[in-house]
Amino acid sequence: MIMELAEPIESINQQLLDQFGLDTSTGQIMFRVVWSEDQFEKRLTDRTDSGIELVTPVVRLVPKYRQWVKEKFVLERLVVVPEMSIPELVGLKLSYEPIWVFKDAKDSYVTPTFWACKFVIDTLYAALGKESLVKYIDEESKHPIETREKRIGKLTEELFGDESNLLGRTITGEAIVVPQSYETTQKES
């Protein structure tokens, strides 16, 4: 059962394609988001679905994630299959492997978004030394007073708005704004 998404998977995958590109030799997208229940792969196996050991290993189409990841989206990365795993994956040279499962600490479903994918991929690249995560530094830690005032102002506007309708009245000319620093030059009589 696929949950309702804020952003369609096709849109997320298109943004992943636009941002991170294709493998030049195969034309496959480098990163993609897939539903765990829909993914299968051909593997050389010595067991049946029920666990009975076979005398001779056979190639079977088996679920890729279903036995470990139930009804969740998975962010995958296209990787080169290590030489020792090629026989098990029936000669595949490239394979999509999971780098993130969209779930929380309690194993509950989490809706995938492009920005979550981008954050995971940028973190992966940073760990590999390919890119920095400097862009994810918290603005409030760099400019605490200004950022806090801006956030409070935005919250105040969202919560209370222009209750006096003063802004609208200044536009129509019914009211004017007098700055606090304004001093009158005429004395009251």
Tell me the per-residue pLDDT of 172-181, one tens digit each, with 9 for 90 and over.
778 787 777 7
The pLDDT of residue 51:
78
**Nearest 5°: CA angle at 99, between 96 and 102?**
115
Count other Cβ atoms within 10 Å, centred on residue 89: 17
- 51's torsion region: left (phi>0), alpha (psi -120 to 50) or beta? left
Give the residue extent of every domain in the chain. Answer: 9-134, 140-172
Tell me the per-residue pLDDT of 43-73, one tens digit each, with 9 for 90 and over.
778 777 777 888 888 887 777 777 788 889 9
Q: Which residue has the higher pLDDT, 86 or 79?
A: 79
Please name which of 21, 43, 46 lies closest in space to residue 32, comparing C-alpha atoms. 21
Q: Are 31 and 77 in contact (CB under 8 A)?
A: yes
Specify the range with the lowest mean pLDDT, choosing from 40-44, 58-62, 101-105, 165-169: 165-169
Q: What crossing angle do the helices spanning 114-127 and 9-20 adopt, rounded to 10°?
A: 40
Residues 116-143, mean pLDDT to the nearest whole number: 75
Total length of the chain = 189
Inform me whether the pLDDT recorded for 147 exceeds 60. Answer: yes
Inform me whether the pLDDT recorded for 11 exceeds 90. Answer: yes
Q: Which residue has the higher pLDDT, 171 or 135?
A: 171
Inform me whether the pLDDT recorded for 2 exceeds 70. Answer: no
Backbone φ and ψ of 86, nearest 5°: -60, -45
